[in-house]
A and B are shown apart, each in its own frame.
Chain A
Amino acid sequence: MKLKDYSLQIKKNIAVLLHIIFLILAVTGITTLYLNTTIGNGLGWLFDRNYDDSNAFLEQVQEDTEHIFQYVKYRDVFETDGALDLSKEMFSITRSDGSETTYTLEEVMRYAQGQGFYLNEQFEVVNDLFVYDTASIAKDCLVNWRAYDKDRSISEPGEAYASLLDLTREVLSSLSDYYSVYHRFIANSSNYYFKILYEEDNKYIIYSNAHDMTPEQLRRMGRYCYFASDSILLDTNLSEIPSNITSAMEQNNFYDASNYYMIIAVNTTYPFDDAYAAANNEYLDMHQRTFEALIRLAAGIIGCFLTLYYLVIAAGYQTKDRTSLRLQGLDMVSTESCLILTGILTLFILFLGEKIGYKIIHLLVVETEWTIMERMMRAVIIYFCCLACAFSLLRRYKAQLLWENSSVHQLIKNIYSYINDKTHSYRLLCSYAAFVAIQVIGAGIFAVLYSYRQFPAAAGGCITLALGLAFADYYIFHRLFILSLQQDQMVDTISRIAAGDTSYQMDLAGFSGKELEVAKMLNSIGTGLEQALQVQVRSERLKADLITNVSHDIKTPLTSIINYVDLIKRENIKDPRIQQYLTILEQKSQRLKTLTEDLVEASKASSGSIKLVMTELDLVEMIWQTNGEFADKYSQRQLSLVSALPDEPIIIEADGRHLWRVLENLYNNAFKYAMENSRVYVDLVKDEHKAYVIIKNVSEHPLNIEGEDLTERFVRGDVSRTTEGSGLGLSIAKSLTTLQGGSFRISTDADLFKVEIGFTMKKPPKEA
């Protein structure tokens, strides 16, 4: 089974397990490192592959070398011909009764044994039987001389006296010094060699555990240090020169020999089992362990990072495709609470650890390692608590709840809600109060700080405060400026909507709070109006379509009516009554025809679904043409057309055919309603920008309708409606004029009927 076949949850659990394993690896690595190395040497020691390069080796050599000089000092005191001589005299005292006694080594040792002293296995002076308070023992013996301390100088009279016990312990101590060297280096084989030679007049005094070896041979042993009286230089391959060698050589030159040399050497093959060999083995072991620990540490850290990386990526997801996020219990509380909870939990677990974990550590681990173990345990506890918290935060982040769920966010939201839901005046009041308060407090603090300006901290605070206040003031100015800018934008929007540009939408970027609401409302007013307008236009179109369709359906039967009336007429019916009926039928059917056609035209014109072909045309020519068309018709009712038109052309932009329809309707209107034998005036006047066609006639019937009402559909000058016409003529004329961008005005003055249509003139090309 491959890894990818497992569910994400199992994989995550495996990753957690691996993470823990790697963490343990890293922790044990660190612990081992701590326990095995001397802190402060860095990692350089890692490259000291041999014990004899290490500081420990140097220390050992230094210590042993010091011991050797002890040996040199005491050899002749305790030894005769290379063997311990118990009969050697140690010291001589004169008692208070005046008797002088000389003690041999044997006597001293016997006395010491009687007092409970002996030398233990490490050649240290111990006493299991008695506890002596040396100060309370009377120093009753005057010391004449000490064999082991010939050069002792006495500066005060009291120092010449000592107790026998003190002297015994001095002897034992010296013996211990001597004998430990003797035992380690001379009685037993050692890896440490020394040879000290004094020569005077071919008399040689040699202190050595390698009498037969020459300095050259000793040098080949490995590490060495050679010092001769004829040279001021130390010949050594030790990385650090043992101190005090030269002075110790001079001090121990008891016979004032003029030539001497000293060599110490360590056999770095360590053939003998001594302290050096043991330390070397220990060193190699430690080196090995440290190296392993380093590798463990590195592997642990890398493993931790890798598993952590995987967990970070997979955190919160439930399925492999990483789509659904699942939040756990801890993720539901607010972000800050999570942090606080983590803190409390960490402290609690640390407390538990101290109470239980420490005890376990103390049971299992040697005392020297307690501190480091306890430290590690604390670190691990803190690490896991922080990790849990971090993953909770991570899941929130992935679910985009990190900020959303935080208390700070909630607080800010609350503050906003205090401000936003209130009126402008309330907000202004609050903001102004806050502004004044900040200014006053700021100025007060500034004044206080300024009075203490001799202190650098106060002066710095002063400057910071001044800068802060300046910045705050600038920010307030900026806010006010933005607000007024937004107000300008809103005013602009309102004026645009008022002017009819209902599709205009203002850009909401940068708006916030109350202003955003207002701007949104403005936009929705625009949208609402636009929609209402569109609905209206749509319904007008639908109405026009309906009328068009109905008119088509009316026209077909109408065709038959007209045609068959005509056919009856052709039957040459002599009966005048039937003739009259037929005439009425013909008239009314024709009227119906006009009505349907006008109805379609009127609805199309008012709904704007007419395609216009705008061209430049001469209004003067247009009027003459129209006059020509109607001249004959008007003469039928003895109407005379009177036109006063300018000579030069008046160019306007309009759709010729539709303008003709307008004029035709108006002329027809005049024809139908003008009083017989009257005059119809058609004039063209112009002002700076516009040209007006004015048609005036005197109505046959009294005009008891307001001018504008005449353009309503189906309104006619005669209430009885006996005249021909659909009652749509003026309505159509008005709609078509407006469509072409012209103005249309009807006015009545008693029986005077006046229509005025105006078009913007196009400036005629300037003639040279």
Chain B
Amino acid sequence: MQKILVCDDDKQIVEAIKIYLTGEGFEVIEAYDGYEALELLEQQEIDLMIVDVMMPGLDGIRTILKVREDSSIPIIILSAKSEDTDKILGLNIGADDYISKPFSPLELVARVKSQLRRYTQLGNLPPVSNEQIFKCGGLTINDDTKEVWVDDELIKLTPIEYHILLLLVRNAGKVFSIDEIYKQIWNEEAIGADNTVAVHIRHIREKIEINPREPRYLKVVWGVGYKIEKQ
């Protein structure tokens, strides 16, 4: 059973998270400030940590910095601060994910699972010998079987969606405009472009992303195009 340390000074929030995660089959260890969390981390084998930023005593940021000194377990920040700068700060100091309060329980569980899968399976994946397998972070495309996996979860895509995703993954980091994608997939000039491609992209995002509004893989570069983040 995987152990998850939840650290927040609000006991009710910790309690609620515990209920959700226990329901998903995780063991939850509770901590109410940074020092307690660090103590528990030393005593027990913890697989993932969820930590609040604003806490009395040792705050979340300093707790993460301490943890990162000798541990690489996944850390998810759970904070009432929802501005970009807060997210960037949190991710820069070593957190793996950032969830703003108030959060949806489903999103929380999904993100926890995603982080755990990526962390635990990084080491025991079969060597990628086949050229027909494309990987990008937790996203894997097997072009032989035409299958798409996100964090070891099989995703069902339509053929056009599949081809768009494949195009983007094969050229990870490159930004494709709507016209370029259209030409590549439909093999014809875009005459009077419309929102077809954009709609497909939206659909792909809804399938592969936990929160389509904050995509991890398929990013929108507004006014320019779309890209898969190179990871």
A674 at the interface (CB under 8 A from B): no
Q: Closest chain A residue to B225 by CB distance?
A: A621
Given contacts A555-B80, A559-B13, A560-B16, contact A619 B198 (CB under 8 A): no
Q: Are A627 and B16 in contact (CB under 8 A)?
A: no
- What separation, in Å, do the CA atoms of A619 and B223 have in the docked complex? 6
A628 at the interface (CB under 8 A from B): yes
Given contacts A654-B223, A656-B221, contact A631 B101 (CB under 8 A): no
**Which residues of B lie under 8 Å from residue A656 when comparing CB positions?**
221-224
**Which residues of B lie under 8 Å from residue A597 when comparing CB positions?**
82
B187 at the interface (CB under 8 A from A): no
B103 at the interface (CB under 8 A from A): yes
Find residues 732-757 in chain A having any chain B CB closer than 8 Å to their own CB: none
Given contacts A628-B195, A628-B197, contact A621 B80 (CB under 8 A): no
Given contacts A618-B224, A621-B177, A660-B220, contact A632 B199 (CB under 8 A): yes
- What separation, in Å, do the CA atoms of A652 and B222 have in the docked complex? 12
B201 at the interface (CB under 8 A from A): yes
A58 at the interface (CB under 8 A from B): no
Shortest beta-carbon distance from A755 to chain B in Å: 18
A562 at the interface (CB under 8 A from B): yes
Q: Are A564 and B101 in contact (CB under 8 A)?
A: no
Interface flags for B194-231 (1: CB within 8 Å of A; 0: not) read 11111111110000000000000000111111000000
Residue with the highest number of chain B CB atoms closer than 10 Å, among A548, A555, A559, A622: A559
- What separation, in Å, do the CA atoms of A600 and B105 have in the docked complex? 23
A336 at the interface (CB under 8 A from B): no
**Which residues of A lie under 8 Å from residue B81 when comparing CB positions?**
552
Q: Are B222 and A622 in contact (CB under 8 A)?
A: yes
**Which residues of A lie under 8 Å from residue B194 when comparing CB positions?**
624, 627, 643
Shortest beta-carbon distance from A96 to chain B in Å: 156
Interface flags for B34-49 (1: CB within 8 Å of A; 0: not) read 0000000000000000
**Which residues of A lie under 8 Å from residue B193 when comparing CB positions?**
624, 645, 647
**Which residues of B lie under 8 Å from residue A619 when comparing CB positions?**
223
Shortest beta-carbon distance from A598 to chain B in Å: 11
**Which residues of B lie under 8 Å from residue A654 when comparing CB positions?**
223
Q: Are A628 and B222 in contact (CB under 8 A)?
A: no
Shortest beta-carbon distance from A737 to chain B in Å: 14
B178 at the interface (CB under 8 A from A): yes
A552 touches which one: B19, B80, B103, B221 (CB < 8 A)?
B80
B16 touches which one: A563, A615, A622, A625 (CB < 8 A)?
A563
B136 at the interface (CB under 8 A from A): no
A641 at the interface (CB under 8 A from B): yes
Shortest beta-carbon distance from A686 to chain B in Å: 15
A169 at the interface (CB under 8 A from B): no
Shortest beta-carbon distance from B195 to chain A in Å: 4
B12 at the interface (CB under 8 A from A): yes
Q: Are A631 and B80 in contact (CB under 8 A)?
A: no
**Which residues of A lie under 8 Å from residue B225 when comparing CB positions?**
621
**Which residues of A lie under 8 Å from residue B177 when comparing CB positions?**
618, 621
Find residues 624-652 in chain A having any chain B CB closer than 8 Å to their own CB: 624-629, 631-632, 641, 643, 645, 647, 652
A326 at the interface (CB under 8 A from B): no
- What separation, in Å, do the CA atoms of A647 and B10 have in the docked complex? 54
- What separation, in Å, do the CA atoms of A645 and B194 have in the docked complex? 9
B127 at the interface (CB under 8 A from A): no
Q: Are B195 and A560 in contact (CB under 8 A)?
A: no
A558 at the interface (CB under 8 A from B): yes
A235 at the interface (CB under 8 A from B): no
- What separation, in Å, do the CA atoms of A322 and B82 have in the docked complex? 67
Interface flags for A558-579 (1: CB within 8 Å of B; 0: not) read 1111111011000000000000
Given contacts A566-B105, A629-B202, A631-B202, contact A617 B222 (CB under 8 A): yes
A453 at the interface (CB under 8 A from B): no
A559 touches which one: B20, B103, B199, B200 (CB < 8 A)?
B103
**Which residues of B lie under 8 Å from residue A660 when comparing CB positions?**
220, 222
**Which residues of B lie under 8 Å from residue A615 when comparing CB positions?**
223
B195 touches which one: A562, A631, A657 (CB < 8 A)?
A631
Find residues 56-84 in chain B having any chain A CB closer than 8 Å to their own CB: 80-83
- What separation, in Å, do the CA atoms of A647 and B182 have in the docked complex? 14
Q: Are B199 and A628 in contact (CB under 8 A)?
A: yes
Residue with the highest number of chain A CB atoms closer than 10 Å, among B195, B202, B223: B223
A593 touches which one: B10, B17, B102 (CB < 8 A)?
B102
Find residues 76-109 in chain B having any chain A CB closer than 8 Å to their own CB: 80-83, 85, 101-105
Q: Closest chain B residue to A650 by CB distance?
A: B223
Q: Closest chain A residue to B220 by CB distance?
A: A625
- What separation, in Å, do the CA atoms of A251 and B52 have in the docked complex? 147
- What separation, in Å, do the CA atoms of A656 and B175 have in the docked complex? 14
Q: Are B198 and A624 in contact (CB under 8 A)?
A: yes
Shortest beta-carbon distance from A434 to chain B in Å: 69
Q: Closest chain B residue to A620 by CB distance?
A: B193
**Which residues of B lie under 8 Å from residue A626 when comparing CB positions?**
198
- What separation, in Å, do the CA atoms of A548 and B196 have in the docked complex? 39
Q: Are B102 and A621 in contact (CB under 8 A)?
A: no
Q: Are B222 and A625 in contact (CB under 8 A)?
A: yes
Q: Are A556 and B178 in contact (CB under 8 A)?
A: no
Q: Are A631 and B198 in contact (CB under 8 A)?
A: yes
- What separation, in Å, do the CA atoms of A113 and B224 have in the docked complex? 155
**Which residues of B lie under 8 Å from residue A625 when comparing CB positions?**
178, 198, 201, 220, 222-223
Q: Are A659 and B13 in contact (CB under 8 A)?
A: no
Shortest beta-carbon distance from B198 to chain A in Å: 2
Residue with the highest number of chain A CB atoms closer than 10 Å, among B20, B54, B221: B221
**Which residues of B lie under 8 Å from residue A622 when comparing CB positions?**
222-223
Q: Are A562 and B221 in contact (CB under 8 A)?
A: no
Q: Closest chain A residue to B103 by CB distance?
A: A559
Find residues 148-186 in chain B having any chain A CB closer than 8 Å to their own CB: 177-178
**Which residues of A lie under 8 Å from residue B123 when comparing CB positions?**
none
Q: Are B221 and A563 in contact (CB under 8 A)?
A: no
Q: Closest chain A residue to B10 by CB distance?
A: A556
**Which residues of B lie under 8 Å from residue A621 when comparing CB positions?**
177-178, 223-225
Find residues 588-602 in chain A having any chain B CB closer than 8 Å to their own CB: 589, 593, 597, 600
The 3 nearest A-B residue pairs measured at CB: A628-B198, A617-B223, A656-B222
Given contacts A551-B80, A657-B222, 20 further A-B contacts (CB under 8 A): A552-B80, A555-B80, A555-B101, A559-B80, A589-B102, A600-B83, A611-B85, A615-B223, A618-B223, A619-B223, A621-B223, A622-B223, A624-B194, A624-B198, A625-B178, A625-B220, A629-B220, A656-B222, A656-B224, A660-B222
Q: Can you show 18 pairs from A to B with CB atoms below 8 A apart?
A: A548-B83, A552-B54, A555-B102, A559-B80, A560-B12, A567-B19, A604-B83, A615-B223, A618-B224, A619-B223, A621-B224, A621-B225, A625-B222, A627-B195, A629-B220, A631-B195, A645-B193, A647-B192
| A contacts, CB < 8 Å to B | 548, 551-553, 555-556, 558-564, 566-567, 589, 593, 597, 600, 604, 611, 615, 617-619, 621-622, 624-629, 631-632, 641, 643, 645, 647, 652, 654, 656-657, 659-660
